[in-house]
Structure 1
């Protein structure tokens, strides 16, 4: 049962993309992922447009559910709010990769943008946002650690640098072709090894 979360939330002209990873594996992780999906969709319907408030309210709801069910789970979780040629990033998850239209790659750390969701009732003081320019031809790559921590036969990780190189090799390609290319590179790296974690990859390309 998967514990990775991603969703595309749309309400009118507002688009929010979420990605996260629940600790551990199994049924409890999958159930928590579904809780997050349900709460996030409900909040989007309330027209909560403030990224800070959105994540704070979601965390409080998830924390109460975790406390009630006594699962001891939590998750990394980040959201991207899209508006015109700008993206607002909030929450703590894996680093975000941005490839500019010219082929340059930027690595955006999310460590200071939040805390794991469900770990504490009130994480509001730790939530922060970062604005990212997102113009024509730019590409944003979101992933869970199942991508970067995938191992080859010698226990070498695929890693963020290989991910960057894989994206750069597809500079100018469509989002679908970039995704397919990364998966091909990842599977070639893993080889005959067993895949031990969920793999989630989201590619967003500005037309």
Structure 2
């Protein structure tokens, strides 16, 4: 209908989608519209969706392929018109894709409203006194993190079990909306605890390790339980990093990493089992984080 009625050289772009908030999926078809940008929650890495059909009205009898985007909690999707990327400043330069990506990357851990505000602010600042010559439309979606999550893993005292534990920890923490650095810190802390049990608890022998991962009220607690001889890492003295390397006692670095990479470390020994708890608080500022003034 559009093709038969369209004046020569005229066409319509359209992106039509259906969002499933429970399944965290977006099914869509694209007719000549700028493709959405997807930013992954863990590291703010972006991936441009490539699916794009011909514009409506350009040709009769065209069919459009349905695409599906699967979101993880915390992922961001940005839909925009070319009035954003083709906004022009007084020197005739275009705002462009890289500036759009940069604006989102700076705020992708923030709520959708703040991400949109940042994009509009940067476009306006870039344009300066030059008028906006094209429509500028933005839609920003952000998958909400889970409020509560529980996971239980039973593993053996073998190094090859570490990737399985790390993958499950990443799944839970990503779903809860933790930042990428927080996830990597906890993966390393848990790995150090796991290796410590294998090497010094079971001394390389076969043993069972139970790992419980719980997230609620903004706190992630990883409980690592084993039945090796009692050992309380919280009582272990911190290494003296000011001493000469050859004078430092052997050991202790792994426990130092467990303590420094988590926000809290607790230990108890009950019913013949060691229970080590490593805790990470979701909204605690990251080391090196900063705020911008202005």
Higher relative contact order (CA 8 A, sep 6+): 1
Q: What is the alpha-carbon distance in structure 2 between the residues aligned to residue 153 and residue 72 of structure 1?
A: 29
What do residues 56-75 of structure 1 show as CA deviations (whole Å, max 9, x unaligned)?
Answer: xxxxx4345x25xx576311
For the residue of structure 2 that corresponds to 1:117, the secondary structure is coil
Deviation of 1:136 (Å): 0.9
1:89–1:130 Cα contact (<8 Å) kept? yes
Deviation of 1:110 (Å): 3.0
What do residues 90-127 of structure 1 show as CA deviations (whole Å, max 9, x unaligned)?
Answer: 1231021011111111111233xx21112223102xx2
Q: What is the alpha-carbon distance in structure 2 between the residues aligned to residue 165 and residue 107 of structure 1?
A: 14
TM-align CA RMSD: 1.7
Residue 106 (1) aligns with residue 42 (2): no
For normalisation by structure 1, the TM-score amounts to: 0.63
> Can you give the 5+ residue segments of structure 1 that lack an aligned partner in the other structure?
1-60
- Structure 1 runs of 4+ with >4 Å offset: none
Aligned match of 2:19 in 68, 82, 85? 82
> Can you give the 5+ residue segments of structure 2 that lack an aligned partner in the other structure?
145-294
How many residue pairs align between the two structures?
140
Deviation of 1:179 (Å): 0.6
When you count helix as a share of all residues, which structure comes out higher? 1
Q: Which structure has the bigger radius of gyration?
A: 2
1:96–1:110 Cα contact (<8 Å) kept? no
Q: What is residue 37 of structure 2 aligned with on the other side?
A: 97
2:76–2:108 Cα contact (<8 Å) kept? no
